[in-house]
Amino acid sequence: MKTVIISDNRDTFLGMRLAGIGGYYVEEPGLVADALNEAAKDPDVGIVLITERCAGMIPDLIFDTKKKKLFPLITIIPDRHGYKAGRSKITSYISEAVGL
């Protein structure tokens, strides 16, 4: 299986290319969604890395894809300025599940 990156940031995209991760370089929400759907459909894709900004454009689609399917795994990565929203999404998910 392979890993792909969806990035709105040229540096991150090229950086991942350095590590041998191919992917999509997209900037508009519609194209981000298309890229994610395409990656989700491909059975050979194991992990989708997506930059935080991209993920912020289509939060619902990401959440749905995460919940519905076992693969691919979607991981949000920071761009070079680090995480912005912190871990809000996963933190809220945790508190919902554990009831803390």
Across the strands, what pairs with 47? 3, 73
Question: For another protein, what does the binding mask look like between residues 20 and 59, x meaning CB under 8 A?
Answer: xxx-----------------------xx-x----------
Smallest gap from residue 1 Cβ to another protein (A): 5
Look up tokens 């991942």; give the residue.
16
Look up tokens 């890229």; give the residue.
35
DSSP summary character for residue 46: E
Examine residue 70 and tell whether it contacts another protein (CB under 8 A).
yes
Q: Are 69 and 45 in contact (CB under 8 A)?
A: no
Q: Are strands 2-7 and 22-25 parallel, antiparallel or unpaired?
A: parallel
Residue of 19, 41, 43, 68 interacting with another protein (CB under 8 A): 19
Examine residue 16 and tell whether it contacts another protein (CB under 8 A).
yes
Residue of 1, 27, 37, 38 interacting with another protein (CB under 8 A): 1
Residue of 34, 61, 75, 85 interacting with another protein (CB under 8 A): 75
Look up tokens 């871990």; give the residue.
87
